[in-house]
Amino acid sequence: MLLKDKVVIVTGSTTGIGAAIATACVAQGAKVMIHGRDESRAREMVQKLGKEKSAYYLSQLSDEGIQSSLGLVEATLDHFGRVDSLINNAAKSPRNDIDSVTVEEFDWIVRLNLRSPLFLTQAVVKAFRKQGGGGTVVNIGSINAYCGEAVLLVYSMTKGALMTMTRSLGNALGKEGIRVNQLNVGWTLTENESKIKESQGFPENWESKIPPTYAPSGRLIHPEDVARHAVFWASDVSAPANAVVYELEQYPVIGRNLINEIPLDIFK
């Protein structure tokens, strides 16, 4: 088991990718602190994973202060007695562009997607040091960190900054045995993503109709795929790799050459 007897915090872990990561961590021997805002979903996760292997903490990480971040780490230490890994998964990706974004929306997204991972990491690093050093942080990023997306302006900005934070902290903390790495995740079929696409008029079973250009494997990435990679990077098996930004995508994100895939009928 890759995470035997480890204690892992997974933010935003009552649904989607976070829930899949928490489930995979427990399957690999870890005890997990579930985090979210919906108590009923948090209770369901603990019931599913087992009370001896999991607990939950409710907070809104986009709050003005940082107590929600500090409280999550404190609750984990109180319940499990230690913490070995932090997986910063919680994030939101509301649609906005240069014409529609507001100051209030910008501040909210930055607080959740960027500020909370920073101060959660600060808090767990203090715990790692008190425990004698060592530990892992895995940040869940996005391929949008590289060039963004027209309607995901602020989300993309925060993921770009998160990528720089990962490299900076990994470089700074490596000598203490603390590793900070990031998964830049590609197009993933979560429940929320499915709802968004259906609201945009996508047909039923639309995933099976995605062109190979976007999904060479014949399907999108699923939360369970991300979870397997997150477990690897949270575990000692991935050592000594540090300050790595790993692209969890089905094709090369940078420098992809699609010239030969341009359909000839566009010239007719």
Q: What DSSP letter does each residue of 46-93 carry, written as one string?
A: HHHH-TTTEEEEE--TTSSSSHHHHHHHHHHHHHHS---EEEE-----
13, 57, 85, 155: which one is catalytic?
Answer: 155
In terms of DSSP bridges, do strands 245-248 and 178-185 run parallel, antiparallel, or are they unpaired?
A: parallel
Respond yes or no: is residue 155 known to be catalytic: yes
Alpha-carbon torsion angle 119, 120, 123, 127, nearest 10: -160
Catalytic residue (choose from 62, 159, 235, 238): 159
Is 107:58 a contact under the CB 8 Å cutoff?
A: no
Q: Is omega for the bond preceding 240 within 30 degrees of 0, making it cis?
A: yes
CA 162 to chain centre: 11
- Torsion-angle region of 94 (φ positive above 0: left; ψ -120 to 50: alpha; else: beta): beta
Q: How many CB atoms lie within 10 A of CB 96?
A: 17
| Residue in 59, 93, 142, 156 annotated catalytic | 142
Is 62 a residue of the active site? no
Question: CA Rg, the chain, in Å?
Answer: 19
Q: What is the set of active-site residues?
A: 142, 155, 159
